[in-house]
Amino acid sequence: MLPVSESRGRGIFVTGTDTGVGKTLAAAALARFLANQGVRVGVMKPVESGVADPARLGEDGALLRWASGCDAPVQLIGPCRLKAPVAPSLAAELAGIPVDIDGLVAAARQLLERYEFLIVEGAGGLMVPLQDAFLVGDLACRLGLPLVTVCRPGLGTINHTLLTLQAARCWGLRLAGLIISGMPAEPDLAERHAPSMLAELSGVEVLQVLPRVPGEARHKVVALSRQFTPTILDKIL
C-alpha cells in the first residue's frame, strides 16, 4: 500500500527530539506563516493526551487550528483526544478507547484532499507509543510525509537530534529539515554552535532557528511566524 501522501497532496510531519521542545509552537507558527502567504493549510494532531475535555480539541490541536485558520471538523484535526497526561498508549488504555490507527490515516487522507498543504504534529518524539507497540514513527511512515524535526539549541541537543534522525532513517522517512526552537537572545557557547554542528553532523538542513519569546501561546505563534521567510516555501512545498 502506498503512503497516503504519494497519491494525495503535500505536507510535512512535525516531530520533536523530546516532549516540550517547542514542537507545537513551531508547527503552529509555520502554519500561520503559510496561511499568511495564501496557502490553504490543513492541520492535524492525530493523538493528543492530557486533554481536559476530550469532547473538544486539546490545547495543541486548538492552537494549530487557530494559527492556520483550518476549517476542518474537529474529528479530522484531532481524531483521538485522551484525558490522562501520559503516553498516548497508556492514556488510551486508561480511557478504554483503543487508538484507531486506520482511522488516523483516513483522517489525514481527507485533509490532504481538502487542503493545499497539511501539517501533522506528532505526540512527543518518534518513539512514543500510540497503540501497543505502534509508535509515532510508525504513523509517520504510514502517512509518508517528509519529516521536520524540532530540537532545542542547548547542551545535549546534538545527541538527542542525531538519535531522532537515526530512528527516522531506520523507518525510511524523508528528512525535510530541522527547526531549532527556543534560541535565547544571549546564547551560550553550546547554543551558538548548535545550528552549524547539527547541520554538519546530521547532513540535514536547518530550516529555521526560532528565538525564545515571552507571552502566552498565541502571542508566541504570531511572533514566531514572522521569523520565517518565503525561501522556506521552496524547501517544504
Catalytic, 45? Answer yes
Buried b (16+ CB within 10 A) or exposed e, 135-144: bbbbbbbbbb
DSSP state of 225: H
**CA pair distance 91, 81, nearest whole angstrom:** 9
**Pair 106, 94: CB distance under 8 Å:** no
Residue 149 carries which side chain, given as an amino acid letter?
Answer: T
- Cell of residue 202, nine digits: 546530521
**CA pair distance 15, 137, nearest whole angstrom:** 9
**CA pair distance 213, 137, nearest whole angstrom:** 29
Locus of grid cell 501497543: 132
Among 23, 45, 83, 220, the one annotated catalytic: 45
50 sits in the region (left: phi over 0; alpha: psi -120 to 50; else beta) called left
Three-state secondary structure string covering 108-149: HHHHHHHCCEEEEECCCCCCCEEECCEEHHHHHHHHCCCEEE
Instruction: Determine how β-strand 206-211 pairs with β-strand 175-183.
Output: parallel
> With the CA atoms of 35, 32, 105 and 137 taken in that order, what torsion angle do they form, in degrees rounded to the nearest 10?
140
Residues annotated as part of the active site:
45
